[in-house]
A = this chain, B = another copy of it.
Amino acid sequence: MSTADDTSGEDGPWGEVTPEAARRLLVAAVDAFAERGYHATTTRDIAGRAGMSPAALYIHYKTKEELLHRISKIGHERALHVLEAEADRDGTAAERLAGAVRSFVRWHAERHTTARVVQYELGALGDEHRTEIVALRRRSDAVVRRIIGEGVRNGEFDVPDVAGTTLAVLSLCIDVARWFDAQGSRTPDEVGDLYADLVQRMVKVRADGSAGPR
């Protein structure tokens, strides 16, 4: 019946999708795409979950791919917003990195249904739509890279390969969407705290004075 989507702290993740019927279709599409994948989901399935006939979908969306694009764009924007909000706070680089990882991971765990579509189904987008989304992802990368770079510059962090470590941190967070199980024993908060700690350890200078590898 209901999905894990209604546990959000905001009044509604898809509140900005304006005609109510269009929103119902979009939420149904998120569930279906997350469960079966984009290509294995039929327009009849989406419409059925929204309580409509297959034809109703095409009143609100031009194609099935446009639905995916809307989901992917809004999802990426939300995730990027979460990341930027933490990155723009005051505090040490370590505090901001921990906050960013914690919030970003929590978002991917809480909203793992959406996140799975957003992360898994990039390849199903058309060419122009995909390049638009890839630009959003590059901004996420830039946010994390900036924090790590600042930490390195002011001596908080010891990171020989900033670009590679940024990639690894983002990869770690994003992959939460793949394995997180709402029925499992870990809450999104717990995973966020665990990951924030692990990432801290990856970047912080070590008191024993050992330099980086090589």
Contacts and interface: CB of A to CB of B under 8 A. Distances in A.
Interface string A162-188: 001101100110111011000000100
A179 B164 CA distance: 12
Nearest to A205: B208
For the complex, would chain A's binding face be called helix, strand, loop or mixed by DSSP majority? helix
Given A36-B123, A37-B124, A206-B207, A167 B179 contact: yes
Contacts of A213: 193, 197
A10 to B, nearest CB: 26
Given A37-B37, A206-B207, A212 B195 contact: no
A40 interface: yes
Number of copies: 2
Interface in A104-151: 120, 123-124
B178 A164 contact: no
A201 B203 CA distance: 8
Interface residues of A, number: 38
A17 interface: no
Nearest to A160: B197
A40 B172 contact: no
Interface of A: 36-37, 39-40, 120, 123-124, 160-161, 164-165, 167-168, 171-172, 174-176, 178-179, 186, 190-191, 193-195, 197-198, 201-203, 206-210, 212-213
24 contacts: A36-B123, A37-B39, A39-B39, A40-B124, A120-B120, A160-B197, A161-B194, A164-B186, A164-B190, A165-B198, A168-B172, A171-B172, A171-B175, A171-B179, A172-B172, A193-B213, A197-B213, A201-B201, A201-B202, A201-B203, A202-B202, A206-B206, A206-B208, A207-B209
